[in-house]
Each structure stands twice: as structure tokens, then as C-alpha cells.
Structure 1
Amino acid sequence: MTETDPLNGLVRPELLALADYNAGVSLEKMRSELGLERVIKLDSNENPLSCSPRVAPAIAAVQPGIFRYPDREELRLREMLSKDLGVTGDRLAFTAGSEDLVSILFRMVLRPDDEVVTVVPAFGLYEICAQHASAVTRKIPFTADWRFPVEEIVSALAGRPRVFVLCSPCNPVGVSIALEDFDRVLNAAHPDTLIVLDEAYGEFVKDSERGRLFERLKRHDGPWIALRTFSKAYGLAGLRIGYGIAFHSALAEAIYKVRSPFNVSAPALAGAEAAYRDQDHVAATRDFVSRERQRVAGALRDMGLPPAPSDGNFLFFDCGRPARTLAQRLRQKGVLIKAWTEAGYENHARVTIGNTEDNDSFLTALREALDGEAE
């Protein structure tokens, strides 16, 4: 080993060169760093109403058996979901969060120099996970008015990329793709291309639109998988559980060959089962987020910081200045938002829709930060 390279070439150099994923800042770190008891954490898109009250008793109930390994086949949760989704249970694959599933999928299907196509700005792990596999990412920007660039996507699909990832509602923008545009995209995809529909925020879509993309995806002739999570609308981010719905059981079986044998913990399974049974809580979360999102978006527009249209539990807005600078000013006031660092979008930030008090604190701190610039 040397001082300049303590690993002495042990780790692949292209992996060491990767950018770190910006996962937000922990409340504990911020309280310690700022000396504040109350920190407003609006940088990770967590559920403003927390999880269902049914979750804690369900987790407590499995504690006596915590010395045993969890149910590797996730039987109860699998049965509930497959019935509602209209697919056989063997097409479901559960992992420690939907981003874990992205990592697993990309390791499974990508070869060096394969191409992944996605729309940007985008969830950063798509590109990072592609780089893990020595694949390349082709990033197609949204239109200036925040619509999916359908013509450019169709053109890119003609090149038969190995993977096309579409997130709807899109993280970080929040916009959803129209059903007719999604239909065009699927019709343009070659059978060699795996379509990945990331629906991490799908539960926040309004009733008349929710589930329509998945129903269309089920009729797609090529390989596909839809990704979902219990971290957002179900409020279980700390438990780490998500799942994929595959076009065929063979893909789900392959995922279980690659993921660790007991990938989802017993508390996570119990929590997810309880949360899924409480759809009233999910509906209450969706209604609350919709009202508060509209209110916060209006306040941002009044401040001259227009947000993109959003169906998620967050807003992506134009700061009119380097977002890192504005986010740092808010941080000093104990308010955390996520400044976007992706090339071309450095003047944008994403803010989670929190509870009413947290949203008010964010808007007050933002006004103070802007007023401070004018002085």
C-alpha cells in the first residue's frame, strides 16, 4: 500500500471515480452541526403524515421471532399485491427498496458499453448503477415546458438500447407522462430493450390517472418491469422495502438469484403488510399532499421561483440563482432542501411537501433568504 493509494489497486478505479449519490442529510447530523433542536427536513421526499398507525403493532408482533430469518418468499405480501395487480405472484420480486432493485437489475442485464437511456433531470442512481456495470447513459432533457421529450425518446429507442428507464411521476421534476405518449414510447421499443417503469411516486397520482401506465405496460410485447416502493406514500422509508412487477416469472426468478438470500427483513415485511392494508391512510396522505403541494407551488410562484408541474410529493423549482447557494442559506436556518447538481439544472432545487408547519417554516425561511439578498 502507498499513501496515495491505500487500496493498492484493490478496487476498480472506474468505481472509485464515481460521484457519490446525494442521499440528503440526517436529522442527527444537522441538529449537531447547527445546534438546533428543530430541523425542517424537506430533502428526501418522505411521507409528511408518517406511516399508518397499524405499522408499529405489526412490527412489535414479529419481535419474538426476530432470531429467525425472514420469509424469503414474502408469501402474505406477495398474495395481497398479486391479487390487486392482476398478475401471478411469481412475477413479483421484493428487495430492500426500489433503488436496490435498480442496482440488481442493472448488474443482471448490462454488459460493458451497453446503453441506458433515460430522461433528465433524473434520479441519480440510474446513471451510477449503469456505471457500476461499465455501461453508458444517454440522457435526454425534458422540454423547456417540462414535458417528456417523446420524439427524442422514440429516436433513441431506434438504437436498441439495453435499458430504457422512465420514471413517472418523474423524480425530481414531478411531471407524469401522458398515456398516449407512453403508448408511443412502448410501440417504438425493440424487443431487445428492457423497459423499466419507475413508479416510486405512483400512489400520489390522481384517481383518474393512477395505474393507467401500468395497465398499458402489461400489454407490452417486449421485456419490462415496473418498480414500486413502500418508502413514499406508505411512509416506510426507514424499513427499506420495495418491489418489482416483471413481465415474466423468469425475470423475477433471476432477480432472486442475484439479490442477497434474505434481502427483506421480517420487520420490513410486517410493516409493509400492515401499511398496505391501510389504504385509507394512503388516500389521506395523497389528499393532504395534493392540497399542500398546490399551496406551496402558489407561494413559490409569488416569489418568482416557478415550480414544474408535479404529481409527486415534492416540487422542483427554478431558484433563479445557483441552487446550492440558496440551499445553504436555508440550511443555516435549519431548513433542508435538495439543490440539484446535474449539469444544466444547477439553478433548480427540489423541496419535499412536508406537514403544514414544516411547509410554512420553509416558505418563511425562503422569503427571509431572498430578502437578505436584496439588502
Structure 2
Amino acid sequence: MADPSSLIRGEIRSIPPYNAGLTLEEVRATYQVDTIAKLGSNENPLGPSPALRRLFSDIGELARLYPDPQGRALCTRLAASFSVDSRQVILGNGSEDLIGVICRSVVRPGDTVATLYPSFPLHEDYTALMGGRIERVPVTENLTIDKAALLAAASRKPRMLMFSNPMNPVGCWLTPDELAAVIAALDAETLLVIDEAYAEYAAGDDYPSAIDMLKGKDIPWVVLRTFSKAYGLAGLRIGYGVVSDTGLCDFFNRARTPFNTNAIAQASAVAALEDLDHLAQSVKSALTERERLKTALAAAGYRIAPSKGNFLFIDAGKNASDLAVALLKRGVIVKPWKQPGFETFIRVSIGSREENDHFLRALADAEDVDAAKSAG
């Protein structure tokens, strides 16, 4: 592969790696000492307020000391699960933090970033903040990915091709053959960024893991994942990326804040990775309820996009923002989509059975009230 630094803005290349200091674990491992006075980072020896210990009984040094800036324990665990070098893994304050890091590192004023549409808004927003130009690849009339248009966009050599798979907010996805075709259409002048925030929910042989498909390919790439969804750690803000090579990952590390993931989040993510039963239960519940909700909505006459995520993208056939307010009045929160061309769509997360039933009742009631108003 060509030198990855050719993709990195000169401003980032000129920044030396941040000197974050050594962790207690590094000192113990390197110098074989048992007692350590950590006096290099201006930390409070008294630690946090006792009030925090009432919330987290074992919070201790996790709150008092700066976190490992590289998140080595978590990165090592993730690297092993994907069979990559731990130096290819980068942590973020949620995967959305890493979208910003990547855009700051790569996108220059006037550069083109191609993405699927409707998009996760931050794919477009961070590009715009760097002065980049968005090329949208809209979904088809059937609310599936337009594969021919996506291949055409890839062949035009954008600075970056960034999209979600499964797609957010729609839920549709690329099959292994379709993703392979996209990869084949790219070259070293384009950074491929695939946001796999919902990969754990994407059951079936028709959904590929991009990490496995991209290993060894002669193009630069990043695959983003998160602990916010299937692992249930949204409030802790912890995500990660797997990068095509260690050199490119090093440049991305220079563009992020040195301590962008906190110690409690890092430790929680390691624990979450070990609890495979909880992950399986979470995914099974979401898939079961997704199909039940989809069946009920289809029977009520709604158009629904195919989905591999823990959500459904639903055409309400009316102004989605007005419907969202009507649902709020009935105790239900959904997300009305506001990007042009999709203002009649709501994205509904898959909740518990009770929450989903609450949504269905509220939706039916809101529709009945609208029908009564129209008849009056």
C-alpha cells in the first residue's frame, strides 16, 4: 500500500505525538517496582468525592488517575478478537468522536467525501466543518442502497468514501458481494470508512464483516464500531476503530485529544466484551421485537425500509415532525427525519416488548385523532 501519510493533512503530520506520561501498569511492567508515587500528571491524591463511591463502589483509582491514553487493555482485547495488531485499534468518545478525528486528519477544503443518503448527519457535518464537499448517493425508491450509484461514486476517487453498513437511518445493507465490488472500485487515493455501529444486530450470511474483507487489501481503510448499541454502554461514550495499518492509526491518534476515553468507560468495555451471554440476549431480543413490530406496522399499511439494525425507518405518509410531537404527548419518543426528501419518515428504535406495544398504541391513537379531524 502507498504511504498512508499521503492521505493525512500536512497540519496533522507536523504534530508530534502527545506526551501523556506513563501509566502505573507501564511502570510496573518496565521497571519491576511495587510502590509507585505517580507525580507526573497533577492528579489529586485524595481522589473523587465520597459521593461517587456511593454510585460506584469500586470507582477508586479509575476516577482519580488519568486513563491510559492508548486504552491498551481494551485495544489489546479488541485486536485479539479481530486478529489485528493492537496498534491498529483506536478508541473514541463514542464512534462519532472518531468520525471527527478522521475528518480533521484527512479532509481538506474542497475535498469530496461521498456518502449514502439519507445519512447519519455527522458523516456530513464533520466533512462540512473541514470545508469538504458532500456527494450524496441516495437510496432507491425501494429504500435499498443504490449499488450502481455507489460504485460510480467510488470510481470517481473521492478523498473519502464514508457510510454506515447497516445504513443509518434506513437500516439497509450491502451483501458480501456488493461490499467486495465497492472495495474493488477504490484505490489508494480514497480512504474507505465504514461505520458498523449496528453490526452486532446484522445477523445472517448476507451481511459481511468489513474488517475480515478488508484485511490485506491495498487501500487505506477504517472500520468503526461502538459499545453504545448492542453492548448497552451509550452513556459511557466508548467506541473504536480498526485501521488498515499502524502508521495511519498513529496519525489519527495525533488528531484526537489525548485522553478522549475515560477509565470507567474503558474498563466497562472490557467487561462487556467478556459477557457474551448478555450480548446474545440483547441481540436476540432486538431481532425478535424488530420483526414483531415490522409485521404490526406493515399490517397497518406503513411502508418500512428493510433493516439489519435495532431500529425501523418508517414512512408515516405525513409530516414526521408533527407526528413525533403527537407521539410525545402520548409518552413516546421517536426521531423524525429532517433531511430533504425524507421529511415523512420516522426512525423508531426497537425497545422492550412493553415499550414497543406502547408505541403501537400511541401511533394508532394519533392516527385515529387525525382521521377524526379530517372527517370533521
Contact 2:335-2:348 at 8 Å conserved across structures:
yes
Once residues 78 and 222 of structure 1 are traced to their aligned partners in structure 2, the CA distance between those partners, rounded to angstroms, is: 22
Alignment partner of 1:97 is 2:101: no
Pair 209,84 (structure 1): closer, same or farther in 2 beyond 3 Å? farther
Once residues 136 and 237 of structure 1 are traced to their aligned partners in structure 2, the CA distance between those partners, rounded to angstroms, is: 30
1:292-331 paired onto structure 2 within 5 Å = 292-331=289-328
Contact 1:203-1:210 at 8 Å conserved across structures:
no
1:156-195 paired onto structure 2 within 5 Å = 156-195=153-192
Residue in structure 2 matched with residue 12 of structure 1 by the alignment: none
Once residues 367 and 217 of structure 2 are traced to their aligned partners in structure 1, the CA distance between those partners, rounded to angstroms, is: 48
Report the structure number with the largest CA radius of gyration: 2
**2:359 is aligned with what amino acid?**
F
Residue in structure 1 matched with residue 107 of structure 2 by the alignment: 110
Once residues 64 and 224 of structure 1 are traced to their aligned partners in structure 2, the CA distance between those partners, rounded to angstroms, is: 36
Per-residue deviation, residues 290-316 of structure 1 (Å, max 9, x unmatched): 110001111111121121111100000
Match of 1:335 among 332, 335, 339: 332
Contact 2:157-2:187 at 8 Å conserved across structures:
yes
**2:348 is aligned with what amino acid?**
V
3-state SS, counterpart of residue 125 of structure 1: helix
3-state SS, counterpart of residue 68 of structure 2: coil
Contact 1:297-1:306 at 8 Å conserved across structures:
no
Pair 65,235 (structure 1): closer, same or farther in 2 beyond 3 Å? closer
| Displacement of 1:91 | 0.3
Contact 2:70-2:90 at 8 Å conserved across structures:
no
Pair 156,210 (structure 1): closer, same or farther in 2 beyond 3 Å? closer
Contact 2:137-2:150 at 8 Å conserved across structures:
yes
Once residues 274 and 217 of structure 1 are traced to their aligned partners in structure 2, the CA distance between those partners, rounded to angstroms, is: 27
1:26-175 paired onto structure 2 within 5 Å = 60-175=57-172
Pair 280,134 (structure 1): closer, same or farther in 2 beyond 3 Å? same
**1:89 is aligned with what amino acid?**
S
Contact 2:101-2:255 at 8 Å conserved across structures:
yes
With 346-355 and 154-163 compared, the bigger mean Cα shift is at: 154-163
| Displacement of 1:58 | 12
Structure 2 gap ranges (5+): 1-52
**2:325 is aligned with what amino acid?**
Q
Per-residue deviation, residues 64-91 of structure 1 (Å, max 9, x unmatched): 4421101112121112111110101010
Pair 209,280 (structure 1): closer, same or farther in 2 beyond 3 Å? farther
**2:136 is aligned with what amino acid?**
K
3-state SS, counterpart of residue 66 of structure 1: helix
Match of 1:238 among 235, 238, 247: 235
Contact 1:228-1:243 at 8 Å conserved across structures:
yes
**2:94 is aligned with what amino acid?**
G
Alignment partner of 1:204 is 2:198: no
Contact 1:58-1:270 at 8 Å conserved across structures:
no
**1:120 is aligned with what amino acid?**
Y
Indicate the percent of aligned positions where both proteins have the same amino acid: 38
Structure 1 gap ranges (5+): 1-55
Match of 1:359 among 356, 361, 364: 356
3-state SS, counterpart of residue 221 of structure 1: coil
Q: TM-score, normalised by structure 1?
A: 0.82
Once residues 217 and 183 of structure 2 are traced to their aligned partners in structure 1, the CA distance between those partners, rounded to angstroms, is: 7
Higher relative contact order (CA 8 A, sep 6+): 1
Alignment partner of 1:248 is 2:280: no
Contact 1:106-1:133 at 8 Å conserved across structures:
yes
Residue in structure 1 matched with residue 213 of structure 2 by the alignment: 216
3-state SS, counterpart of residue 192 of structure 2: strand
Contact 1:58-1:274 at 8 Å conserved across structures:
no
Once residues 132 and 142 of structure 1 are traced to their aligned partners in structure 2, the CA distance between those partners, rounded to angstroms, is: 25
Contact 2:94-2:228 at 8 Å conserved across structures:
yes
